[in-house]
Structure 1
Amino acid sequence: MRIIVNGEGREVQAATLRDALAELGLADAIVATALNRDFVPATARGQTTLAEGDAIEIVAPMQGG
């Protein structure tokens, strides 16, 4: 299925957001996620299904001051 990840088109086989993160090599990463601009907590990623054309935003925390 074709989705958009951080503004870039990607092909994935994943059915859920959790599976998509694993497929993208981010299974164990500490990141924040949004699906179609709606925040998705880590605990809900396994139940959050994906559809053709969905847009996922993945943001890693940054340190600084």
Structure 2
Amino acid sequence: MIRLTLNGEPIKTDVVYLSDLILQKTNHSKMYAVAVNEYFIPKNEHSNYSLSDGDVIELVTPMQGG
């Protein structure tokens, strides 16, 4: 189990790859942007990007509003 910070909140998870974490947290949304330790990670790298204990992740999904 690794400890991460996701959008400012500490979490513990068993996932290894960024793509798996995104699937858990976005309800399979296709529209999102993600940064790990302040570096933008392109979508084509998500399935190969291994998470490490202590990573800080910002996951942003678009919201409609006015």
Question: How high is the TM-score relative to the length of structure 2?
Answer: 0.83
Question: How high is the TM-score relative to the length of structure 1?
Answer: 0.84
Q: How far did residue 28 of structure 1 move?
A: 2.1
Instruction: Structure 1: give runs of 5+ residues left out of the alignment.
Output: none
- Could you tell me whether the CA contact under 8 Å between 1:33 and 1:39 is conserved in 2? yes
* Pair 1:27–1:41, CA change in 2 (3 A): farther
Percent identity over the alignment?
Answer: 34
1:15-49 alpha-carbon deviations (Å, 9 max, x no partner): 0100111232x252110000100001111100111
Q: What secondary structure, in the 3-state scheme, does the structure 2 residue paired with 1:20 have?
A: helix
Once residues 53 and 3 of structure 1 are traced to their aligned partners in structure 2, the CA distance between those partners, rounded to angstroms, is 5
* Pair 1:27–1:46, CA change in 2 (3 A): farther
Count residues with an aligned counterpart: 64
* Pair 1:62–1:23, CA change in 2 (3 A): closer
Instruction: Structure 2: give runs of 5+ residues left out of the alignment.
Output: none
Q: Structure 1 runs of 4+ off > 3 angstroms? A: 62-65
